[in-house]
Amino acid sequence: MPPVTSVKRPDHIKDTIKRLLSYMGRHKILLFLVAILVTLSAAANLLGTYMFRPIIDHYTIDPKYQDLWKALALEIGIYSIGVLSTLGYSQIMVRLAQKIIFEMRKDIFQKMEQLPLSYFDRRTHGEIMSHYTNDMDTLSEALNNAFAMLISNSIQIIGLVILLFVLNWFLSIFVILFYILMAVYIIYASKKSKKAFKEQQQVMAKVNGFVEETLSGQKVVQVFNHEQQNIESFQKKNTALKNAGFQALKYSMSMIPMVVAISYINYAIVAIVGGLIALGYVPFISFTLGGIASYLVFVRQAAMPINQFTNQSNLLLNGLAGAERLFKLMDEVRETDEGCITLEKKNQTTWVWKEEEREIPLCGDVRFYSVDFSYIPNKRILSDLNLYAKPGQKIAFVGSTGAGKTTITNLINRFYEIEGGSITYDGIDIKTISKKDLRHSLGVVLQDTHLFTGTIKENIRYGRLDATDEEILMAAKLANAHNFIKKLPNGYDTYLTSDGGNLSQGQRQLLSIARAAVANAPVLILDEATSSIDTRTERLVQEGMDKLMEGRTVFIIAHRLSTVRNANAILVLDHGKIMERGTHEELLKLKGIYYNLYTGKLELD
């Protein structure tokens, strides 16, 4: 019996079981077959043991070998049915479990794709990934190993108790007392071990966190010669983990020898008392030789389902706790979209907003009217914000971290909903535009360029999945990415992994510009796209962006002021408010915040 680990009970066990059964109910035929085969397996095991009684009693008194062989063949047949039933339901259960896990994994991924960005803001990547790893694994293990076996062991325990009393009610009283003793110790040891395992998990989290932090900062460790101090710190944490592990396993590992010892004592007492009954030393109670043989086998068998029942219950509870977390994710409120106005392409250069019979040309006129917004209640990011961007204008946002620059662009995309005011796009309230079509009209180049596993061609095509190879080539040339791509061993078919780790930061940025270029969106958002690259590479990236910006309404979030000098309007933000607006020359003449930033008297933080 494996050690009993700490079990997290689901908070709403009935609702969780009900929803899990709804998934299982989609496969009624497989479930019905499992139920039949589990019952056959348990019944065959019980019947086969019970058959010892008539066989021994009958053929020791009147040995007819021809009939004995028939009885033995029947016994073999009963056990064979049990073996085949066990093999059958275990294989069917594996198939059923994988179907359920497949469907749940599909459902949570679909739901995750529909969730708003605010959901991901509140959670770490590790927490989200745990749904696909820990929760799915524990549920899969419970379905594969615990569900059918728990039912089988329940049938066997009930059947064993009934047959024990059928064979000899007097001896069964002793047996039940010992089983109660086993159960009491299992419950006691489980409580102790669960508490210790919880402490072990806390210590283990500290060890894992220390290792992860050390590995990610290994360069810093070596630069400052901190290896020995890290080894000593790890030794202390590792020692604490060893001690916690000992306390956790001390109780859980004692259950096997204790249950075995109790069962042996039980078996010995039953054998002695049963023998005395069979020999006639106990009045008013009779026992045949076959009866005591069957009884002793049942006594030996009974300890196994009790042990398994405890562990399978824990395994199933862990699985249900994992399922509950998955269902909680499925119940998250998806991103709302009440917009009905769609985007339609009239020709190669013309787009229109379509609302029933009305068509409005897409020009790229974006305006904010008294916009209020907060990520967290009572912590205002934007207050009474008013701004406009006329078609074809380049609008730059300048300000310190937390001033609200990225927030403005996030609101244009409707990644978040505003609390007050309104935002219009070509005179249309963006709340009435379908989010899919709204975002299709916006091209974005982020500072954090994320490339997907696949070829360079596939990563550029991510901007528009129906783009031809010729359009991809044109987009790469427009972004100044073509020159470095053609020098790669496989050119556009070069395979990228680990977020393009085999490319420089500048090359990755050029690919992200190419991805935005192939999307060919009328409005462009550039979010500090050159802040993490060197000056020479910045010139290449800037040239690519300049080509991309031609004829488009552009919003630029800039950390380097040199990149916004040619903007039609520069907006200086501070604590969610526009402090200054004007061209580069106009703002310098004001000698205000922008002037101080540009001359170095004030720095962006």
pLDDT digits 0-9 by tens, 51-65: 777 777 676 656 666
pLDDT (mean) for 342-364: 84
Same domain, 150 and 281: no
Paired with 379 in beta bridges are 376
Q: Report d(CA 502, CA 55) in Å as an integer.
A: 75
Same domain, 153 and 25: yes
H or E segment and range at residue 443:
strand 442-446
When comparing pLDDT for 70 and 233, which is higher? 233
Same domain, 214 and 197: yes
Q: Is residue 47 part of a domain?
A: yes
pLDDT digits 0-9 by tens, 301-348: 776 776 676 667 767 777 888 888 889 889 988 888 888 899 888 776
When comparing pLDDT for 66 and 495, which is higher? 495
Reported as a pLDDT band with limits 50, 70 and 90, residue 203 is: confident
What per-residue confidence (pLDDT) applies to 64?
63
Q: Report d(CA 319, CA 138) in Å as an integer.
A: 5
Q: Is residue 590 part of a domain?
A: no
Q: Taking the CA of residue 460 as centre, how many other CA atoms within 13 Å lie in the half-sphere pointing to its CB?
A: 32
Same domain, 58 and 72: yes
Asked if pLDDT for residue 393 goes beyond 50, the answer is yes
Rg (CA), the chain: 36
Paired with 557 in beta bridges are 397, 527
Q: Report d(CA 305, CA 42) in Å as an integer.
A: 11
Reported as a pLDDT band with limits 50, 70 and 90, residue 4 is: very low
Q: Could you tell me the two tokens for 457?
A: 């061609």
Give 219-223 contacts, CB < 8 A, sequence gap 24+.
none
What per-residue confidence (pLDDT) applies to 6?
47
Residue 566, φ and ψ in degrees, nearest 5: -90, 10
What per-residue confidence (pLDDT) applies to 307?
67
pLDDT (mean) for 493-520: 83
What per-residue confidence (pLDDT) applies to 369?
94
Residue 41: CATH number of its domain: 1.20.1560.10
Which of 424, 420, 430, 423 has its CA nearest to residue 372?
A: 420
What per-residue confidence (pLDDT) applies to 368?
94
Q: Identify the domain boundary among 520, 537, 566.
A: 520
Q: Identify the domain boundary among 520, 548, 582.
A: 520
H or E segment and range at residue 278:
helix 255-278
pLDDT digits 0-9 by tens, 41-98: 888 888 877 777 777 767 665 666 666 777 778 878 888 898 898 898 888 888 888 8
Same domain, 161 and 41: yes
- Give the strand pairing for 523-527 and 553-557: parallel
Q: Report d(CA 172, CA 164) in Å as an integer.
A: 6
Tokens 């590992």 locate to 253
Reported as a pLDDT band with limits 50, 70 and 90, residue 603 is: low
H or E segment and range at residue 246:
helix 227-252
Same domain, 319 and 269: no
Reported as a pLDDT band with limits 50, 70 and 90, residue 5 is: very low
What per-residue confidence (pLDDT) applies to 149?
78
Q: Is residue 398 part of a domain?
A: no
Reported as a pLDDT band with limits 50, 70 and 90, residue 3 is: very low
Same domain, 22 and 108: yes
Dihedral sign for Cα atoms in the order 274, 275, 277, 281: negative
Q: Report d(CA 308, CA 314) in Å as an integer.
A: 10
Count the residues in the chain: 605
Q: Is residue 464 part of a domain?
A: yes
Same domain, 280 and 210: yes
Tell me the CA distances in angstroms from 335 to 104, 339, 414, 417, 597, one per residue in order: 20, 12, 10, 10, 39
Same domain, 278 and 329: no
Same domain, 160 and 178: no
What per-residue confidence (pLDDT) applies to 170?
83
Q: Report d(CA 405, CA 396) in Å as an integer.
A: 9
pLDDT (mean) for 228-250: 84
Residue 406, φ and ψ in degrees, nearest 5: -65, -30
Q: Report d(CA 94, CA 342) in Å as an integer.
A: 46
Same domain, 234 and 322: no
Amino acid at 547: K
Asked if pLDDT for residue 367 goes beyond 90, the answer is yes
Asked if pLDDT for residue 371 goes beyond 90, the answer is yes
Q: In this structure, what DSSP letter does residue 592 have?
A: S
Residue 507: CATH number of its domain: 3.40.50.300
Total domains present in the chain = 3
Same domain, 86 and 183: no
Would you call 73 exposed, middle or buried from its count of C-beta atoms within 10 A (0-12, 13-18, 19+)? exposed
Q: Identify the domain boundary among 480, 500, 520.
A: 520
Angle, alpha carbons 172-178-180 (nearest 5°): 100
Record the pTM: 0.71
User: For the chain, what is the mean pLDDT?
Assistant: 82
What per-residue confidence (pLDDT) applies to 431?
92
Q: Is residue 3 part of a domain?
A: no
When comparing pLDDT for 224 and 491, which is higher? 491
pLDDT digits 0-9 by tens, 398-451: 888 778 888 898 899 898 889 999 999 999 999 999 998 998 888 888 777 788
> What domain range is 239 assigned to?
169-286
pLDDT digits 0-9 by tens, 467-490: 899 999 988 888 888 888 998 888
Amino acid at 480: N
Tokens 């933000």 locate to 573
